[in-house]
Amino acid sequence: MKTSTDLSTEKVREFVRERYGAIAEQSDAACGCAPSGCCGGGATENYGEKLGYTAEQLAAAPAGSDLGLGCGNPLAIASIRPGEVVVDLGSGAGFDCFLAARQLVGTGRVIGVDMTPAMVSKARANAAKSGLTNVEFRLGEIEALPVADGVVDLIISNCVINLSPEKARVFAEAFRVLKPGGRLAIADVVATKPLPEAIRTKLGAIGACVGGATLVDELRALLTAAGFGRIDIALRESSRAYIREWTDDASAGDYVVSALITAYKP
Q: pLDDT 10s per residue in the chain (266 long)?
A: 444 445 899 999 999 999 999 999 985 444 444 434 445 444 456 899 999 999 999 999 999 999 999 999 999 999 999 999 999 999 999 999 999 999 999 999 999 999 999 999 999 999 999 999 999 999 999 999 999 999 999 999 999 999 999 999 999 999 999 999 999 999 999 999 999 999 999 999 999 999 999 999 999 999 999 999 999 999 999 999 999 999 999 999 999 999 999 999 99
Distance CA 191, CA 175 (A): 23
Counted domains in the chain: 1
Query: What is the rounded distance in angstroms from the CA atom of residue 262 to the CA atom of residue 155?
Result: 10
Q: In this structure, what CATH number is given to the domain that contains residue 150?
A: 3.40.50.150
pLDDT in tens, 212-239: 999 999 999 999 999 999 999 999 999 9
Q: How far is the C-alpha of 124 from the C-alpha of 107, rounded, in Å?
A: 19
pTM of the complete model beyond 0.85: yes
DSSP symbols for 113-168: EES-HHHHHHHHHHHHHH--SSEEEEE-BTTB-SS-TT-EEEEEEES-GGG-S-HH
Please provide residue 248's backbone torsions phi and psi, each rounded to the nearest 5 degrees: -80, 5
Which amino acid makes up residue 14? E
Residue length of the chain: 266
Residue 226 placed within a domain: yes
**Does residue 19 lie within any of the structural domains?**
yes
Q: Where in the sequence is the domain holding 200, given as residue range(s)?
A: 9-264
Task: Judge whether 4 lies within some domain.
Answer: no
Task: Give the three-class secondary structure for 236.
Answer: strand
Report the distance separating Cα 40 and Cα 241, nearest Å.
Answer: 9
**Inside any domain, residue 2:** no
26 occurs within a structural domain: yes
Among 92, 72, 73, 91, which residue's Cα sits nearest to residue 31? Answer: 92
- The reply to whether 3 falls in a domain is no
> Would you say residue 212 lies in a domain?
yes
pLDDT of 6: 59
Residue 1 lies in a domain: no
